[in-house]
Amino acid sequence: MKNNFFKNPTLFIWFLLMCFTVQSQNKYIDSLLDLKHYSSVKFKIDSLYLNKNVNEYNYWLGKYYLEKNKADSSLFHLLKVDSLKLTSHYKAYFLNELGKLYGHMNLEDKAVSLKLRAKQLFKDEGLEKESNRINYDLHYIFLSQEHLNYDGKSYLDELYKNSIRLKDTSYLINAHFGYAASSFSAEKKNDFMSSMHEARNLNKTFNDSKKNGIINEYYGLYYTFNSDKKDSALYYLNKNLELADNSHDEDRIFTANINRATFNRVNGDFDSSVYWMKNADTIDVKKYKFNQKRNLYKWLSYDFYNLKKTDSAYKYLEKYVQYSDSVQLASQNTNLTMFRTLEAEKARSESERRRILNRNLLWGSLVVLAIIGLISVLSVKNLKKKKKIIEIEKQLQSQQIEQLLKEQELLGIDAMIEGQEKERKRIAMDLHDNLGSILATLKLHFQNLKVKKDRLRDQEDNLLKKTDDLIEEAYQKVRSIAHAKNAGVKASEGLVPAIQNFASKVSVANKLVIEVIDDGMEERLDNSLEISLFRITQELITNVIRHAQATEATIHLTHHEDSLNLMVEDNGVGFEPAKIKPKEGMGLHSIQRRIEHIGGEVNIESVPGKGTTVIIDIPLT
C-alpha cells in the first residue's frame, strides 16, 4: 500500500496539501490567540465543529478557555479529546496544554508527568525548540514545590544550553531570569547582577514589554530585600508598575501592586503598604490564583495589626480564612469536574451503559461520604481557627488593659509632680514673705541696738554680735531654701538654663562646686519632660548635699539622635547600691519608677570612698 501511495501523484499531492492546510490552520489559530483576538478564534474553532473535526474542536476550545483563564471549561474540553486518535505531533501539543492547565490548578504532580511526556514527543518529532521550552516550565514547577525532589537547576542548565544552540532569544532570557531567581540573596549578589545584566542586554534587541516588566520587578525586589539602596528599589518597582498599567494585563498589574506594597512593608511604612494592597484587591484574580488573593488578605491583616487598627486586622484575617476555605473548595470542585467529564465520556458507549450506571452509584456514594468527611474536617478546622482568633482577641484585650493601667499610673505620677510643684511654690512664698520678713525685721532691730551700743554694758556687746551673726545665717538659709525649692523650668528659659541657675544657687549656699555640661541640647524638649528631668536632677543633687559629703559634683546632659542621657556624678563618700532598701532610698526608688514609666532606665555606679555616678537614659521616640 505504501508503494501505491507514493506511485499515485494525485494521492500524494492531496496528502501534502492536507498536511499543509492543517499546519497553516493551527498556526493561524495560535497567532490569533497570541494577539488575544478571541472573537476570531472562537469563530475559527466553531468551524472545526461544523466540519466534524471533534477532536481538534475540543483541543482548540480547551486551549482557548485556558487562555481566557477559565480552568473548569478548559479542563472539560481537553478531557474530551481522544488522545489515541492524535498524531504524535498533535499529541505533544495536547499533553503540553493539559500539563499547563494542571499547573494552573496546583496539581503539580500531574503537570510534571504530562510535561515530561510532551517534551519527549516533541524531541522525537524533531521539534527541538518546543521540547527545550518545556524545561522552563519544569524548572519553575519543581522550584515552587517543596515536596517535589529537584536538584536545583538541571532543567535550567539544559534550557540555557539549548537556547544558545537553537538561537531562541526569548527563552535564553527566561533562563537568565531563572539563574537570577536562584541567586536572590546578598551573598550571591554578583551572580544575580550578572544574570540580570545578560537578560537586560538580550531584551534590548528582543524588546519584549513583559520581560522588561520582569527585569524591573527583579531589580526592585532585590534592592528591597538585599540592599540599602531604597531609591533604586523604588525606581524599578514604579517602572514595573507603569509597564504593567500600560499592558492592561490584570495579572501583571496585580503582581506589580503587591510588589510595591512589599517595599513599603519592608521599610516599615504600613500605611503606604495598605494603599498598594488595596489597589491589588480591586483586581479580580482568576480562579486558579485564589492563593494570591488569600495571601493578599494575610498581609493586609499584618499591615493593619502593625498600624494598631485591630478591627481592620481581624476583618482581613477573616477574609484570609474564608479564602483558605475557598481554595480547598476549588480543589474539590476541580476533582468533581474531572470526574463528571470522565463519566460523561464513558456514558457515550451504549454497550457499557449498565456497568457505568452501577459504577456511578458506587462512586456517588463514595463522593457523598468524601464530601461529608471533608465538610467535617473543614468544620473542625474552622472551629480551631475561630478559637485561635478568640484567644488572640483576649490577649489583645489583656494587653490593652495593662497598657491603660500603666497610663493611669503615669497620669497619677504626673498629677503628684504637679501637686509637688505647687506645694514647693507655696512653701517658698511662705518662707520668703512670712519667716523671711520676720527675720529681716529682727535683724533691723538688732542693728538699731548696735547703733546704741554705747548705752549698753561692755559684756553685752559680744552677745549682740553673736546674735546678729546667727540671725544673718538664718536669713541666708531661708533665702537659699526658698530659691532652691522654688527653682523650676520656666517656659522662656528651658531645661539647661534652669539647671544652671539651680546649680549656681545651691553651690553658693552649700559650699559645693557644681559644674553643668550640656551637649546637643540646643532644641527644647516637651515641657512636662523638662520639668520631670529638672526635679530628678534636683532630687539627685539634694541627695549629694545630704549624704555624699562631696565638694564637687558634675551634671552632664547629652541629646544624641533619639535618646537623652542625664549623668550626675560626685566625689563624695559613696555607698553600696545593693544594700539600699526601697524604704531607705525613697528618692532613688521614685526616680527609677518615674524613668521606667517613660521607657528609660537608671544605672547607679558607686563604691564606698570613691564617689557616686547616676546614669539615666531616656528614649525620645
Q: What is the pLDDT of residues 237-289, one digit of tens each?
A: 999 999 999 988 888 899 999 999 999 999 999 999 999 999 988 887 654 45
Low-confidence ranges of the chain (pLDDT < 70): 1-52, 144-152, 285-291, 323-357, 401-426, 428-442, 444-464, 466-467, 469-470, 473-474, 476-492, 508-510, 581-586
Q: Which residues pair with 570 in a beta bridge?
A: 553, 612
Q: What confidence score (pLDDT) does residue 490 get?
A: 55
Q: What confidence score (pLDDT) does residue 582 get?
A: 57
Q: What confidence score (pLDDT) does residue 294 get?
A: 80
What residues contact 75, with CB distance under 8 A and at least 6 apart? 62, 101, 105, 334, 337, 338, 341
- Other C-beta atoms within 10 Å of 411: how many? 10
Give the E-state strand segments of 448-579 in sequence order: 513-519, 552-560, 563-570
Q: What is the pLDDT of residues 599-610, one digit of tens each?
A: 899 999 998 998
How is residue 29 written as a grid cell?
A: 489559530
Taking phi over 0 as left and psi of -120 to 50 as alpha, with beta for the rest, 14 belongs to: alpha
Q: What is the pLDDT of residues 106-130, one digit of tens each?
A: 777 888 889 999 999 999 999 999 9
| pTM of the full structure | 0.48
How is residue 530 written as a grid cell?
A: 523638662
Q: What confidence score (pLDDT) does residue 165 get?
A: 94
Q: What confidence score (pLDDT) does residue 108 get?
A: 79
Q: What confidence score (pLDDT) does residue 342 get?
A: 43
The residue written with cell numbers 505620677 in the block is 413
For the chain, give the number of residues: 621
Kindly provide the b/e burial profile for residues 513-543, where b requires at least 16 CB atoms within 10 angstroms of the residue's own CB: ebebebeebeeebeeebbbbbbbbbbbbbeb
The residue written with cell numbers 492543517 in the block is 22
Q: Which residues pair with 554 in a beta bridge?
A: 515, 569
Q: What confidence score (pLDDT) does residue 434 get?
A: 58
How far is residue 41's CA from residue 414's CA, in Å, rounded to a whole number? Answer: 77
The residue written with cell numbers 559650699 in the block is 511
How is residue 433 written as a grid cell?
A: 514673705
- For the chain, the distance separating the N- and C-terminal CA atoms, rounded to the nearest angstrom, is 92
The residue written with cell numbers 512589599 in the block is 262
- Other C-beta atoms within 10 Å of 301: how many? 20
Cα 138 to Cα 63, 172, 611: the distances in Å are 19, 15, 74
User: Residue 576 in contact with residue 539, Cβ under 8 Å?
Assistant: no
